[in-house]
Chain A
Amino acid sequence: MKNWPWLILTPAIIFVLIGLFAPFLMTHDPTVQDYKAILSPASWSHWLGTDYLGRDMYSRIIGGARTSLVAMVFVLLAALVIGVVIGSFAGYVGGRTELVLISIIDIALALPSLIIALALIGVFSGASWSWMSDYWKMIIALTLAWWANYARMSRAVVVAELQQPYIEAARVMGASHMWIFTKHILPHVLGLVVVYASADAGALVLAIATLSFLGLGVAPPTPEWGQMLVDGMSYIEEFPSLVIIPGLALTAVVVSFNLLGEAFALQKVPKAVRGGLLRRKKATRAAEETARAATEAKV
């Protein structure tokens, strides 16, 4: 990945920056309705115009970025923690415990995460859950839909690393299980899982928007891109910008995060697989050794 387009990451970076500094960037309160300026076009006071309740579109896009970012970070962190803990535990202890946990993970993986999220939100909509806001229901539902991926990945890394001779070496040195896990295994697990999580960020933003679009996530008047799409739908013929602007924002962020993940994933692939797949003959090996010795000595 020598010449990979850093530019493509700009939307993701801008998204994070906007989300972080949203309060300073908004020109209006995104929830305040101004009936004198309903559906007004772009102007100096409303940079991107206003929506059907006269709310400032620019501020709502900015606010929506923050809503998505916060929800995304919550879900990713929670899913990562749950996934890494369960997956690593399964991989480390092995045996029957591992089998049971793998089955649970497999079931969770077999169902599309959005379906799980929808089902869970359905469960949460019962009266006994009314104390919880829709926002948190969405976050919990998405977390429960998302952790299995990381659990599976963590387990795979743990199992692979446990077979490495350096783990045995640590054991010979008298290291405890806790030491081996925290000093040797966990860094490997996090190294891989965090990379994949960064690729998932886009999908998660999309899922949050989708749930809100379906009326199951962030409730009005909190600015949220999915919500903005729904609101804009009714006016799509006369004021297409109401749909186009949040749509573009969403697309840019999703594409950008996907590319980020892809770039990471490509770099994670061992060189041997990317480059020369065939190094079978001994004849080739000796010369490679020569070249490698030269490179190593240079390092």
Chain B
Amino acid sequence: MTDVKQADPPAIEAQGLKVHFQTAAGLVRAVDGVDLTIPKGAFHGIVGESGCGKTTLARAIIGLQHATEGTVQINGRDRADWQKQDRKGFARAVQFIFQDPLGSMSRRQTVGQTLEEPLLIHSIGNASERKQRLAELLDLVALPATVLDRIPRSLSGGQRQRVSIARALALNPSLLICDEPLSALDVSVRAQIVNLFARLQAQLGLTIVIVAHDLAIVREVCSEVTVMYLGRVAEQGVTKPVFADPAHPYTQALLSAVPSPDPRIEAPRPRILLAGDPPSPRNPPPGCRFSTRCPVVEPQCRVTEPQLRPVAHSGQAACHLAAAESHAVI
């Protein structure tokens, strides 16, 4: 992999990424061969159901999870090498936001100490400069200065997530990876945080990767989307076209499962109901992983595993029945 990089390499380029772990019950293939390219400046959503490997993928990208196979390049540099040679430099370029904001903060620290920690680790500024930076950060995430002396536990869910976002931004990263940052929040607060992400992305020119299960929100804010099923990418592309004309039967079912909040739309709408639960990532079925639940399954699907191929919405889908001109509709 020593070919000359183009002028502006993508923010993330994962190739053949596999994350397997050994458990008492057997080998779990959480991520099982994922190729993913995310250009700079994108707002990328990774969606799928629990057990599809989306969180593991996000963690493997930033090195929190050891990749069994495959490589990840970030801004054109090999992630593993970069972290080994320049841990702090990597941290300044890439930051991660955890699903549980409270758990990701020390319970012995105030909000102020939590936000200051990255600056201290990187020896940035003197006391007054750091204080200044904290004020800027709070401003960025729309929190009042009064939260600095409070402990994270005493904040509301939305405020906690704002603090964790502010901390991630403290080092001015260019890439932000977020693991289900909305799932711990109340509905009316979710919108606040989503809008915050959208604003920050525009304001700071960030590349954001967000792992989510709320498809409606992904469609609202993400410029591009990756749909995962059982450790593999089922479909990817630009969000709006993918949602308008999904090529993979799983994407179609997943989108169909999201109810409309408007009963006038919801009542007459034909719904796709899949049979059963997703299979266990411990023993994925042979051939296409979706073949056990797919309503339009064909004999070849149970034998050969489909690769990602270009489809009508100009993204890609891993389905034998999908092609550039047409795809199965269920």
Contacts and interface: CB of A to CB of B under 8 A. Distances in A.
Interface of A: 164-166, 168-176, 179, 183-184, 187-188, 293, 296, 299
B172 to A, nearest CB: 13
Given A165-B104, A172-B96, A174-B92, A296 B118 contact: no
Interface string B31-69: 000000000000000000000000000000010100000
Contacts of A169: 96, 98, 104-105, 164, 167
B90 interface: yes
Interface centre among A173, A176, A184, A187 (most CB of B within 10 A): A173
Question: Considering the complex of A and B, which 6 residue pairs feature the smallest CB-CB distances, nearest first?
Answer: A174-B91, A165-B103, A169-B104, A174-B88, A173-B118, A172-B96
A170 B118 CA distance: 8
A170 B120 CA distance: 11
A99 to B, nearest CB: 19
- Chain A, interface SS category: helix
A164 B103 contact: yes
A166 B91 contact: no
B264 interface: no
Contact of A174 (B87, B98, B103): B87
A163 to B, nearest CB: 10
A296 B153 contact: yes
A172 B98 CA distance: 10
A250 to B, nearest CB: 37
B103 A172 contact: no
Contact of B121 (A164, A166, A175, A296): A175
A166 B103 contact: yes
Nearest to A191: B108
A172 B106 contact: no
Interface residues of B, number: 27
B171 interface: yes
Contacts of A293: 156
A6 to B, nearest CB: 26
Contacts of B118: 173-174
B98 A165 contact: yes
Nearest to A175: B121
A174 B90 contact: yes
Given A170-B117, A174-B121, A184 B92 contact: no
A187 B154 CA distance: 21
Interface in B103-122: 103-108, 117-118, 121-122
Contacts of A172: 62, 64, 91, 95-96
B227 to A, nearest CB: 26
B100 interface: yes
Interface centre among B95, B104, B167, B171 (most CB of A within 10 A): B104
Contacts of B98: 165, 168-169
Interface string B141-154: 00000000000011
Interface string B128-143: 0000000000000000
Contacts of B92: 174
Given A166-B106, A174-B90, 11 more contacts: A165-B103, A166-B105, A169-B96, A169-B105, A172-B91, A173-B121, A173-B171, A175-B117, A183-B117, A188-B108, A296-B153
Contacts of B117: 170, 173, 175, 183
A171 B98 CA distance: 12
Nearest to B150: A299
Nearest to B177: A172
A59 B283 CA distance: 78
A179 B106 CA distance: 13
Nearest to B83: A174
A165 B98 CA distance: 8
A174 B96 CA distance: 11
Contacts of B153: 296
Nearest to B100: A165
A179 B121 contact: yes
Interface centre among B90, B98, B100 (most CB of A within 10 A): B98
B62 A296 contact: no
A154 B316 CA distance: 52
B104 A168 contact: yes
Nearest to A296: B154
26 contacts: A166-B106, A169-B105, A169-B164, A170-B117, A172-B62, A172-B64, A172-B91, A172-B96, A173-B95, A173-B117, A173-B121, A173-B171, A174-B87, A174-B121, A174-B122, A175-B117, A175-B121, A176-B87, A179-B121, A183-B117, A184-B108, A188-B108, A293-B156, A296-B153, A296-B156, A299-B154
Contacts of B156: 293, 296
Contacts of B154: 296, 299
A165 B107 CA distance: 11
